[in-house]
C-alpha cells in the first residue's frame, strides 16, 4: 500500500511540475514584451537595420539592408538557427554558402549555345540559295509578302479579340465589385454589425496605444527642387503627430534644384502578447461578435 502511495505522490509531483512549467512559459510569452528597433540612414549609401528581441535576447532576429544587399539572421540562445543573404544581383545564399559558380563552368554552356546558334543560321541561307536557283525569284519578296499577309490577318482579328476579352474582364470585375458592395451595405445596415465594427475599432485603438513607438529620433534634410513644393511638404509634415510628439529634426532645403532626402531615423518600441489576448477575450465576450463569427464560418 505504501508503494502505491509513493508512486501516486511521485506522479502528482511530476504533473504539478509540468503544470508550473506550462504556466511559467505562458506567463513569459504573454508578459515579457517583444522589443523592436529600426535604424535607418541615407547619406552616400542607404542602410537599414531591424532588430527584434525577446526575453533578454533569448530569441533575436536581425535584418540588415545596405546598397541592395540584404542579410537575415535568426538566433536562439545565441545559436544561429537561420541565416540568409541576398546580393544586389538577386542571388541568395543560406548558411554562408557561396552562390557563385566557377567561371570555366559558366563559359562552356555559353560556347555551346553560340555554336548551336550558328548552325541553324547557316541552314536558312542554304535553303534560300536553293529557292533562288529553282525559281529565280528573291526569297526576300516572298517572305515580305507572307509577313504582310500575316500582319494583316492579325491586325484584323487580334484587336477585336483583345477588345472583347478586356470588355468581358471589365464586366466581370464590375459585377464582382457590385456584389461586394451590396453585401457590405447589407452588413452595415444591420445594427448588430455596426456595434461589432465599433467594438473592433475600439480594440484596435487600444492595441495601437499599447504597441506605439516608445522612442523616435530623426534628423532629416530634404528638398524637392522647387521652393513652393518644399514648403507644402514641410507644412504637411508639421501636422503629423510623429514629428511634433517626438524629438524629430526636419530641415528643408529651399535652394536645391534636385530632389533628395538624407539623414537618419531611429525607432524603438515594444509589444506584449497579453494585450492581444485581453482584446480577443473582450471581443469574444460580446454576443454580437460571436454571432457574426459563426455566420462568417458558415
User: In this predicted structure, what is the pLDDT of residue 135?
Assistant: 44
pLDDT in tens, 5-33: 889 999 999 999 999 999 999 998 889 99
Alpha-carbon distance values, 244 to 86, 237, 240, 253 (Å): 37, 9, 7, 19
Lowest pLDDT segment from 46-50, 190-194, 198-202: 190-194
Give 63 or 163, the one with higher predicted confidence.
Answer: 63
User: In this predicted structure, what is the pLDDT of residue 47?
Assistant: 93
- The Cα 226–Cα 47 span in angstroms is 27
Average pLDDT, the chain: 78
Please provide the distance, in angstroms rounded to a whole number, between the alpha carbons at the two ends of the chain.
55
User: In this predicted structure, what is the pLDDT of residue 59?
Assistant: 93
Q: What is the mean pLDDT of residues 247-275?
A: 91
Find cell 546598397 and name the residue: 67
Count Cβ atoms below 10 Å from residue 14 Cβ, excluding itself.
10
pLDDT in tens, 213-243: 888 999 999 999 899 999 999 998 888 877 7
Q: What is the mean pLDDT of residues 253-271?
A: 92
This prediction has a pTM of 0.60
Lowest pLDDT segment from 82-96, 147-161, 267-281: 147-161
pLDDT in tens, 142-166: 545 566 566 555 555 566 677 777 7
Ranges assigned E (strand) in the chain: 34-42, 46-54, 59-66, 69-76, 79-86, 92-94, 213-224, 248-252, 259-271
Contacts of 298 (CB under 8 A, 6+ apart): none
- What are 288's three cell numbers? 454580437
Alpha-carbon distance values, 116 to 105, 108, 278 (Å): 17, 12, 68
Q: What percent of the chain has pLDDT over 90?
A: 33
User: In this predicted structure, what is the pLDDT of residue 142?
Assistant: 52
Amino acid at each position: 500500500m505504501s508503494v502505491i502511495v509513493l508512486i501516486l505522490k511521485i506522479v502528482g509531483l511530476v504533473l504539478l511540475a509540468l503544470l508550473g512549467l506550462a504556466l511559467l512559459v505562458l506567463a513569459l510569452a504573454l508578459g515579457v514584451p517583444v522589443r523592436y528597433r529600426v535604424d535607418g540612414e541615407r547619406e552616400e549609401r542607404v542602410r537599414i537595420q531591424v532588430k527584434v528581441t525577446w526575453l533578454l535576447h533569448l530569441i533575436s532576429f536581425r535584418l540588415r539592408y545596405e546598397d541592395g544587399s540584404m542579410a537575415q539572421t535568426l538566433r536562439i540562445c545565441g545559436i544561429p538557427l537561420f541565416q540568409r543573404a541576398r546580393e544586389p544581383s538577386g542571388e541568395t545564399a543560406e548558411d554562408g554558402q557561396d552562390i557563385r559558380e566557377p567561371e570555366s563552368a559558366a563559359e562552356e554552356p555559353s560556347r555551346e549555345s553560340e555554336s548551336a546558334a550558328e548552325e541553324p543560321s547557316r541552314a536558312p541561307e542554304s535553303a534560300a540559295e536553293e529557292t533562288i536557283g529553282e525559281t529565280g525569284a528573291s526569297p526576300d519578296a516572298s517572305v515580305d509578302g507572307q509577313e504582310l499577309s500575316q500582319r494583316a490577318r492579325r491586325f484584323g482579328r487580334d484587336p477585336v479579340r483583345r477588345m472583347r476579352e478586356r470588355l468581358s474582364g471589365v464586366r466581370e470585375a464590375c459585377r464582382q465589385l457590385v456584389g461586394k458592395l451590396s453585401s457590405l451595405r447589407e452588413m452595415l445596415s444591420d445594427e448588430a454589425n455596426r456595434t461589432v465594427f465599433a467594438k473592433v475599432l475600439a480594440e484596435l485603438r487600444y492595441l495601437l496605444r499599447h504597441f506605439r513607438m516608445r522612442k523616435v529620433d530623426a534628423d532629416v534634410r530634404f528638398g524637392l527642387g522647387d521652393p513652393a513644393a518644399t514648403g507644402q511638404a514641410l507644412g504637411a509634415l508639421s501636422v503629423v503627430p510623429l514629428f511634433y510628439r517626438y524629438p524629430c529634426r526636419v530641415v528643408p532645403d529651399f535652394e536645391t534644384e534636385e530632389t533628395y532626402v538624407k539623414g537618419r531615423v531611429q525607432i524603438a518600441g515594444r509589444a506584449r502578447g497579453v494585450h492581444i489576448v485581453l482584446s480577443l477575450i473582450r471581443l469574444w465576450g460580446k454576443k454580437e461578435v460571436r454571432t457574426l463569427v459563426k455566420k462568417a464560418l458558415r
